[in-house]
Amino acid sequence: MAAPPLPNLFLPPISPTNSPQSPKFCFPATTPTVGARRATPFVSCSAATVRKGGRVNPDDYHSTLRALNSKGRMPRKSLGQHYMLNSSINEQLAAAANVKEGDVVLEIGPGTGSLTSVLIDLGATVLAVEKDSYMAALVDERFAGTNRLKVLNEDFTKCHMSSHMSSLLKSIELSDSKSQPAKVVSNIPFNISTDIIKLLLPMGDIFSEVVLLLQEETALRLVDSSSGTSEKRPINVFVNFYSDPEFKFKVPRTNFFPQPNVDAAVVSFKLKQAADYPAVSSIKSFFSMVNSAFNGKRKMLRKSLQHISTALEIERALEDCSLPATSRPEELSLDDFVRLHNLIVKQ
């Protein structure tokens, strides 16, 4: 099926005045006639840039534009598409997960396949999930010569990932007696990062580690488990319940096309097995209590949790946890929430 018509925009050749990280869009000098067919964007691209050591970067600015042109596409804001232009960053991303030969890796949003290329070169088998059908086709075509890539044209937030991964892992086990947990290595859309994290972290039975490139502010917030900060949210409790997060490194915004308004950063989440989760009587009721606590963030817990227990019982439970009766949710650690839950939630 042909690509849908695109806005009548033209990208100029790269010049000293047009930064590769911040391409400028030029509108035609004249307004096209109403009803006239819109032209496909044309990009003048030179040869791929050469990286240090004499190696060619196959996913630099020019190569990325060529790939997008081949499908008549431009980055879509609605999908949060920001393509990585620096292969060295992709290599560091893979290194953060210690990807090696024989690993099975889930990649969410492969885009033009820049990170996919690094993962395959390291000897990993990759399951790439891409919502954009044009990008899914592009990646499938780019790596048509390998049998270590499976591309799913699906929305990750809606697909049955456990089923897909289980099938892939079983097929690999049939040909290789060595079975090990899979990993996740991805440059994900910033606008759905929290949704993706909530889906991935409870999957410690499938994945051993999740390494994601996130918006820097989000990355810093997720790894901060300290109590008493006004920035603390239920997601902080969630992350530490299911994983051990670690901030890896910062990625300047100039490494992306189009360039976002914020810098990025890489975070590693070492996933816990179910046996290592904090000892709560019910995970569902635990997070229900945590969410209720933060819904009344400015309120003391003895008020915001009154639908669960009486104010007096909550005060006594806080005292048993060595916490003041006036405690607010942002002041509690994960262990504090666990103890409080087990004292006041009736099963």
Q: What is the DSSP string of 232-297?
A: --HHHHHHHHHEEEEEEEEE-GGGEESPPSS-EEEEEEEEPPGGGS---S-HHHHHHHHHHHHHTT
| Nearest alpha carbon to residue 225 among 214, 233, 217 | 233
On whether the pTM is more than 0.75, the answer is: yes
> Is 307 part of any known ligand binding site?
no
Has 187 been labeled as part of a binding site? yes
> 44 by DSSP, 3-state: which?
coil
Q: Are 71 and 142 in contact (CB under 8 A)?
A: no
Average pLDDT, the chain: 81
pLDDT at 64 over 80: no
Q: What proportion of the chain, given as a percentage, has pLDDT over 90?
A: 60
Q: CATH number for the 83-276 domain, one of 3.30.70.890, 3.40.50.150, 3.65.10.10, 3.30.300.30?
A: 3.40.50.150
**Buried-state track 67-79, b at ≥16 Cβ within 10 A, e below 16:** bbbebebbbeeeb
Confidence band for 30, pLDDT divided at 50, 70 and 90: very low
For residue 170, count CB atoms less than 10 angstroms from its CB and return exposed for 0-12, middle for 13-18, buried for 19 or more. exposed
pLDDT of residue 335: 96
Where do we find the tokens 């086709």? 137
- Does residue 82 have a known ligand-binding role? yes
pLDDT of residue 70: 73
Q: What is the pLDDT of residue 171?
A: 76
Residues 6+ apart with CB under 8 A from 202: 242
pLDDT at residue 177, as a whole number: 46
| pLDDT score, position 19 | 40
- Residue 87 has, within 13 A of its CA and on its CB side, a CA count of 21
Checking if the pLDDT of 76 tops 90, the result is no
Predicted local confidence at residue 17, as pLDDT: 35
| Helices and strands: H and E segment counts in the chain | 12, 9
79 pLDDT tier (thresholds 50, 70, 90): low
Would you state the structure tokens that stand for residue 114, as one six-digit string?
């820049």
Q: What percent of the chain has pLDDT over 70?
A: 77
Q: Indicate whether 179 pLDDT > 70.
A: no
| pLDDT top residue among 149 and 81 | 149
Question: Buried (b) or exposed (e) across 194-214, using 16+ Cβ within 10 A?
Answer: eebbebbbbbbebbbbbbbbb
pLDDT at 224: 84
pLDDT at res. 337: 97
Instruction: Please give the average per-residue pLDDT across 270-279, as a whole number.
Output: 96
Confidence of residue 21 (pLDDT cuts 50, 70, 90): very low
Rg for the chain (alpha carbons), in Å? Answer: 24
Whether pLDDT at 165 is above 80: yes
| Model confidence at 166: pLDDT above 50 | yes
CATH architecture of structural domain 283-344: Orthogonal Bundle (1.10)
In the predicted structure, residue 44 carries a pLDDT above the cut 90: no
- Helix (H) or strand (E) run with residue 339 in it: helix 334-344
3-state secondary structure of 138: helix
Average pLDDT over residues 154-175: 81
What is the mean predicted confidence (pLDDT) over 301-330?
A: 95
**pLDDT of res. 181:** 87
Is residue 47 over pLDDT 50? no
pLDDT band with cut points at 50, 70 and 90 for residue 50? very low
Residue 322: CA count within 13 A, CB half-sphere: 3
What is the residue extent of each domain of the chain? 83-276, 283-344
- pLDDT above 60: residue 72: yes
pLDDT(184) > 60: yes
Residues 203, 271 contacting (CB under 8 angstroms): yes
- Condensed to tens digits (0 to 9), the pLDDT of residues 132-164 reads 999 999 999 999 999 999 999 999 999 988 888
Residue 11 clears pLDDT 50, i.e. is over it: no
Lookup: tokens for 41: 């964007």
Higher pLDDT, 222 or 63: 222
